[in-house]
């Protein structure tokens, strides 16, 4: 896998989605970003992952998917508060840098192999379904949780400069 990737649905628009989650304009008062962990087993190729238009499709609910969301004890999706979203327009290098200033972390107590992490835009964090959630960024996060029996934190370190909006390898 050549992660990280920006799914096609978010190409050239991920900065816009992050701006909505940050500024919360009229109609997006409950918008936000959310971190989702994916199990390693059955994780699909980048060329397949980048084609999913929403989290429901990525997880293929009811479709016999091999891609599954983490389920270890201590896991839940993590919301990103709007004050932890940084968006910088870099006119010199012609790109937009998106950074989440707080690294997501979980305290797992059961064993599970994790393969990737997704940052998603949720237009309404108080309701809706996974079909409404748009994956913006998927990166490798290869970890095995809970191997020591006690809660050992699993932390994904967000790159210091975030990621480049609209750039696809």
What letter would DSSP give residue 84?
Answer: G
| Chain segment 4-51, per-residue pLDDT in tens | 777 877 777 888 888 888 888 988 999 999 999 999 988 888 888 888
* pLDDT category of residue 79 using cuts at 50, 70 and 90: very high
Residue 169: per-residue pLDDT: 38
Residue with tokens 């997501």: 104
Segment 114-159, tens digit of pLDDT: 999 999 999 999 988 999 999 998 988 888 887 655 567 888 888 7
Residue 133: its pLDDT value, please? 95
Q: DSSP assignment, residue 131?
A: G
- How far apart CA 162 and CA 70 sit, in angstroms, is 24
Tokens of 9: 């649905």
Q: pTM of the prediction? A: 0.87
C-alpha 119, offset from chain centre? 2
């Amino acid at each position: 896998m050549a992660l990280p990737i920006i799914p096609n649905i978010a190409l050239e628009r991920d900065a816009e989605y992050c701006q909505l989650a940050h500024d919360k304009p009229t109609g997006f008062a409950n918008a936000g970003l959310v971190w989702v962990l994916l199990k390693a087993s059955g994780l699909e190729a980048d060329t397949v992952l980048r084609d999913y238009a929403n989290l429901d499709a990525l997880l293929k609910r009811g479709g016999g998917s091999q891609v599954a969301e983490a389920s270890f004890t201590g896991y839940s999706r993590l919301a990103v508060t709007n004050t932890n979203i940084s968006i910088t327009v870099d006119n010199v290098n012609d790109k937009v840098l998106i950074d989440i200033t707080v690294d997501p972390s979980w305290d797992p107590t059961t064993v599970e192999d994790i393969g990737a992490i997704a940052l998603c835009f949720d237009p309404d964090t108080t309701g809706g379904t996974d079909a409404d959630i748009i994956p913006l960024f998927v990166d490798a996060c290869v970890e095995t949780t809970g191997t020591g029996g006690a809660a050992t934190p699993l932390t994904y370190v967000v790159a210091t400069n975030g990621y480049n909006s609209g750039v696809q390898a």
